[in-house]
Chains A and B, each alone.
Chain A
């Protein structure tokens, strides 16, 4: 009981820290998590990098403060620095 942690508690503990987000398609994001909602896990990130994974390599796009639609999120990696760091 004491050791269990709800999935959204994990996300909540990531606030203020780097996070790596993997989407349904060939797209990934990294950034500092500023907040999220617990409905579809829309999230606000700052210092964002968008990665498009293509056969020719990873295309990287820097973004400002960004609201990411939660509908297409598959995985969240707390502390993750992005596809190039894996």
Chain B
């Protein structure tokens, strides 16, 4: 069985830019740094904060972090590291 080469993916998107494809996860990651985000972890707890940086594992560093449980803010952290395996999604709380 031949494995799928990456070409069709890029061809369909038809991006001519040198950077990551518009709308791709890496493009999203590039644009979201420094923005206010909501990070949901697997157990339903949300972390709202300013996204300092993230990596390919979805490890996340946040500033001015607020921990939200069931719609209530329960704790705040100055800085906070979230391990990527627990991250369900990273959602922008402002326009990118």
Direct contact of A and B (CB under 8 A): yes
* A residues lining the B interface (CB < 8 Å): 6, 8-9, 12-13, 15, 23, 25, 27, 29, 34-38, 42-44, 48, 63-69, 71-72
Q: Is B92 part of the contact surface with A, judged by Cβ < 8 Å? A: yes
* B residues lining the A interface (CB < 8 Å): 4, 6, 8-9, 12-13, 21-29, 32, 38, 42, 58, 84-85, 87-96
Partner of A15, one of B8, B12, B90, B96: B12
Chain B binding site: helix, strand, loop or mixed by DSSP?
mixed
| Shortest CB distance A7–B (Å) | 9
A36 to chain B: which residues have CB within 8 Å?
24-25
Please report the C-alpha to C-alpha distance between residue A44 and residue B4 in the assembled complex, in whole angstroms. 22
Contact B4 A42 (CB under 8 A): no
Contact B94 A38 (CB under 8 A): no
B95 to chain A: which residues have CB within 8 Å?
64
Please report the C-alpha to C-alpha distance between residue A66 and residue B94 in the assembled complex, in whole angstroms. 11
